[in-house]
């Protein structure tokens, strides 16, 4: 393959809901560019994009796939993305290196949940979007209704640049409102004839052409002046206005296609080349320290790795975008993310599993390499002597969690290795080795997302695993003051053990003054603080430990042992074995023996005194509360609200956003198990949600009673 220069390169991501037809559109684009000789089909499992076994089994995209086509002297890099929100990680990573999204919309349904979700991600990332209304050859195709739904979700700047003449099973022609010609296609070869607009379509075409010209002119003052003076714009001037509007997201052009029949593909590719931005026309990439790196071939070389995959017989493949300069074979580079040194020994351009070797790639191009030592997704490589770091991509919060374990214990170590690899390939899979819960917790975007991981572990790595309900990371605390003392005494022939500790515990409140006096059980205890230690607990909250010993009743050298005993019970709370938090402990008295007292004696005495005091200090279990934001169609809002309330949610408010209702709530994590599956079932997959940790709050009395009973039964079984 020849080396394409920056102005000859276009980078696009195919976005859209599952079933919109992205994968077949990618096939059609490669077929039009003669990169493939024959189009594959989903049914025959022969597409270039969905080439993995699991994708072929499911008959849909699960991973993002890097592709390309060559058309009219240009190279168009294409990334085909999954259409399900469960696999949004592949969409986010695909949108980082591209300059424009092609949102594929099924003309039978218009805007679907995937259209809305991925549209919001494109907006957040400031990526231009064009719409390709697909499957216009279907009996139920409805172009006008699709345009209406797009305008509701994306605003009035959704503007057709084409419209179908005969949508439905006989679809073979559309009017192009830029060239003001009709294009009629013959068979499924992609060949078309350019015709004058029929008389019966002229009024409609003229009206829509005027609307397009006016919208294009609005994006540039000089074009607006010409429009006012002349009442029209030339085709080149329309291109200019559309390009400006596209880049500013002030205009969203709409195209007509049938990817299955190769209708409209050549006109879409022409537009991407003639109007779509080349990489050097996009805003410059910024480094973590705010410096701009221009997409210029003569500048120092730098690249950003947006995807890492592992393939059998090859190992790790890193997919990257050349941000600046030129990357050549055998080039030495520095990984500024981890300060490592790398040699880019081989370069490839990629079409699915086909990798074609090249000797160089210039600024703006997308390629792949293998056998890097320590470079992964989100890493930056640059020329030696330079310090360029493009930071990391931001992925959505996890929505689904489960505990995982190998059915065969001998596979446990291997499981850890492959879970780590899974996170490298898909950063939305988060692995948590919870010492507290004594479980490996896997976080993902949905139940289907993690079921795919389970399939991969079994079929690719031969590890049979099971998902088990994850425990909830409860916390324990106290609500009132309590006092306890404990004497540890043990005599066993030789040296004995003796230690006695008296303490008061109370809830910790940030900013409260140090204690001076306590009143417990109608008895006053005066306190004289001699030492204070504040411990920020790893699991949140604080322990404040006071040394209030006077008169030498306990030697100062034993205080650390008492604190250690207290910390042991903080790590395994007396109620359910969960971590305890936000407690003040004042050790004010005790006894020791000149011979038998030692550190172990005072550690045990401190531990048991704390345990006894805790049980009478109004102990409470606290649970993690999450802020949940649900995006739901209006007709399903009542069902979703009712379900949330059944999950002990507190509804914080409601809002509207682009044709959807937004419900904001605070919900206990314990009630969010499999919520993604339940929400999908309630709304036929039309709703989505986001969740993030908010705070710990006390559980209701009836819930606490159930938890205590369950813990007691568990202890008895052990």
Give the pLDDT mean for 181-207. 93
pLDDT at 490 over 90: no
Predicted model pTM: 0.88
Strands 475-477 and 579-580 come out as parallel
Mean pLDDT of the chain: 93
pLDDT at 342 over 80: yes
Local confidence band at 491 (pLDDT 50, 70, 90 cut-offs): confident
CA-to-CA dists, residue 155 to 104, 250, 687, angstroms: 17, 10, 20
Task: Check residue 701 and give its pLDDT.
Answer: 92
Task: Check residue 718 and give its pLDDT.
Answer: 61
User: For the chain, what percent of residues have pLDDT higher than 90?
Assistant: 83
Residue 559: DSSP 8-state: H
Looking at 599-636, list the stretches that DSSP marks H as alpha helix, in order from N- to C-terminal side: 599-615
- Architecture of the domain whose range is 622-703: 2-Layer Sandwich (3.30)
C-alpha distance across the termini of the chain, in Å:
66
Task: Check residue 37 and give its pLDDT.
Answer: 92
**Helix-helix angle 143-154:113-124, to 10 degrees:** 40
- Domain topology for 476-618: Ribosomal Protein S5; domain 2 (3.30.230)
| CATH number belonging to domain 291-382 | 2.40.30.10
CA distance 689 to 335: 36
Task: Check residue 254 and give its pLDDT.
Answer: 98
pLDDT at 551 over 90: no
CA-to-CA dists, residue 278 to 4, 73, 77, 142, 542, angstroms: 12, 13, 11, 33, 54
- CATH entry, 6-197+244-281, from 3.40.50.720, 3.40.50.300, 3.20.20.80, 1.10.260.30: 3.40.50.300
Give the pLDDT mean for 323-329. 96
CA distance 666 to 647: 10
Specify the DSSP element, H or E, that contains 226: helix 221-230
Give the pLDDT mean for 211-217. 92
Task: Check residue 660 and give its pLDDT.
Answer: 79
pLDDT at 50 over 80: yes
Task: Check residue 615 and give its pLDDT.
Answer: 92
Q: 676-692: per-residue pLDDT in tens?
A: 989 989 988 878 899 99
The distance of Cα 216 from the centroid of its chain, to the nearest Å, equals 35
Least confident window among 174-178, 579-583, 629-633:
629-633
Task: Check residue 493 and give its pLDDT.
Answer: 66
CA distance 457 to 51: 18
Residue 556: DSSP 8-state: G
CA-to-CA dists, residue 15 to 11, 158, 570, angstroms: 13, 16, 49
Task: Check residue 314 and give its pLDDT.
Answer: 80
pLDDT at 7 over 90: yes
705 CB neighbour count, 10 Å cutoff: 12
pLDDT at 527 over 80: yes
Q: Where are the domains of the chain?
A: 6-197+244-281, 291-382, 400-470, 476-618, 622-703
Nearest to 125, CA basis, from 99, 153, 155:
99
CA distance 365 to 76: 9
Give the pLDDT mean for 265-279. 96
pLDDT at 261 over 70: yes
Give the pLDDT mean for 36-43. 93
pLDDT at 584 over 70: yes
For residue 518, the number of C-alpha atoms closer than 13 Å in the C-beta half-sphere is 24
Task: Check residue 229 and give its pLDDT.
Answer: 86
The yes-or-no answer to whether 400-470 and 622-703 have a common fold is: yes
pLDDT at 695 over 70: yes
CA distance 150 to 142: 12
Q: 662-677: per-residue pLDDT in tens?
A: 999 999 999 998 899 8
| String of DSSP letters for 629-681 | EEEEEGGGHHHHHHHHHHTT-EEEEEEEETTEEEEEEEEEGGG-TTHHHHHHH
Superfamily of domain 400-470 in CATH is Elongation Factor G (Translational Gtpase), domain 3 (3.30.70.870)
Task: Check residue 642 and give its pLDDT.
Answer: 95
pLDDT at 157 over 90: yes
């Amino acid at each position: 393959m020849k080396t394409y220069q920056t102005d000859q390169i276009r980078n696009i991501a195919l976005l859209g809901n599952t079933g919109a037809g992205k994968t077949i559109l990618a096939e059609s684009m490669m077929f039009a560019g003669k990169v493939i000789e024959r189009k594959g089909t989903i049914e025959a499992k022969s597409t270039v994009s969905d080439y993995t076994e699991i994708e072929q089994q499911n008959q849909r995209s699960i991973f993002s796939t890097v592709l390309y086509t060559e058309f009219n002297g240009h190279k168009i890099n294409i990334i085909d993305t999954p259409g399900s929100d469960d696999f949004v990680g592949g969409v986010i990573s695909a949108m980082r290196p591209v300059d424009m999204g092609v949102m594929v919309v099924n003309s039978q349904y218009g805007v679907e949940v995937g259209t809305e979700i991925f549209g919001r991600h494109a907006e957040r990332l400031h990526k231009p979007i064009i719409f390709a209304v697909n499957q216009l050859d279907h009996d139920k195709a409805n172009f006008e209704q699709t345009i209406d739904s797009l305008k509701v979700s994306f605003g009035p700047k959704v503007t057709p640049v084409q419209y179908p003449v005969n949508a439905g099973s006989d679809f073979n022609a559309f009017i192009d409102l830029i060239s003001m010609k009709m294009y009629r296609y013959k068979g499924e070869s992609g060949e078309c004839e350019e015709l004058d607009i029929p008389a019966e379509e002229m009024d409609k075409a003229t009206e829509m052409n005027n609307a397009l010209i006016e919208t294009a002119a609005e994006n540039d003052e000089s074009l607006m002046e010409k429009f006012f003076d002349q009442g029209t714009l030339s085709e080149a001037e329309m291109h200019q206005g559309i390009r400006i509007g596209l880049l500013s997201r002030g205009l969203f052009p709409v195209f007509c296609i049938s990817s299955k029949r190769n209708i409209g593909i050549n006109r879409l590719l022409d537009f991407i080349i003639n109007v779509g931005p080349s990489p050097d026309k996009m805003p410059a990439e910024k480094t973590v320290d705010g410096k701009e790196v221009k997409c210029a071939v003569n500048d120092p070389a730098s690249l950003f790795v947006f995807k890492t995959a592992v393939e059998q017989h090859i190992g790790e493949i890193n997919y990257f975008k050349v941000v600046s300069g030129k990357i050549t074979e055998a080039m030495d580079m520095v990984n500024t993310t981890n300060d490592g040194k790398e040699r880019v020994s081989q370069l490839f351009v990629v079409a699915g599993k086909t990798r074609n070797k090249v000797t160089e790639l210039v600024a703006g191009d997308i390629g792949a390499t293998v056998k890097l030592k320590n470079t992964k997704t989100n890493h930056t490589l640059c020329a030696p002597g330079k310090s360029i770091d493009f930071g990391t991509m931001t992925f959505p919060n996890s929505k689904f969690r489960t505990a995982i374990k190998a059915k065969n214990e001998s596979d446990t170590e291997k499981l850890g290795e492959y879970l780590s690899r899974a996170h490298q390939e898909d950063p939305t899979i988060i692995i948590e080795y919870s010492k507290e819960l004594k479980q490996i917790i896997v976080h993902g975007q949905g139940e289907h997302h993690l079921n795919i991981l389970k399939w991969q572990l079994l079929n690719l790595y031969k590890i049979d695993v099971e998902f088990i309900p994850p425990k909830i990371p409860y916390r324990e605390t106290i609500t009132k003051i309590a006092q306890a003392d404990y004497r540890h005494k043990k005599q066993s022939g030789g040296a004995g053990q003796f230690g006695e500790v008296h303490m008061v515990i109370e809830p910790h409140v940030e900013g409260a003054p140090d204690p001076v006096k306590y009143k417990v059980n109608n008895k006053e205890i005066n306190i004289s603080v001699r030492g204070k230690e504040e411990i920020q607990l790893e699991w949140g909250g604080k322990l404040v430990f006071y040394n209030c010993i006077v008169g030498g009743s306990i030697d100062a050298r034993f205080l650390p042992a008492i604190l250690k005993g207290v910390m042991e019970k903080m790590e395994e709370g007396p109620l359910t074995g969960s971590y305890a938090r936000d407690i003040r402990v004042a050790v004010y008295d005790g006894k020791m023996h000149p011979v038998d007292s030692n550190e172990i004696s005072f550690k045990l005495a401190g531990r048991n005194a704390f345990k006894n005091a805790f049980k009478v200090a109004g102990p409470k279990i606290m649970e993690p509360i999450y802020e949940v934001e649900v995006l739901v169609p209006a007709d399903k809002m009542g069902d979703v609200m009712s379900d949330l309330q059944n999950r002990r949610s507190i509804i914080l408010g409601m809002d509207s956003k682009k044709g959807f209702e937004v419900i904001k709530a605070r919900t206990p994590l314990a009630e969010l198990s499999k919520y993604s599956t339940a929400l999908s079932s309630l709304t036929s997959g039309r709703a989505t949600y986001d969740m993030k940790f908010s705070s710990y709050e006390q559980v209701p009395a009836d819930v606490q009673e159930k938890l205590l009973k369950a813990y007691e039964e568990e202890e008895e079984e052990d």
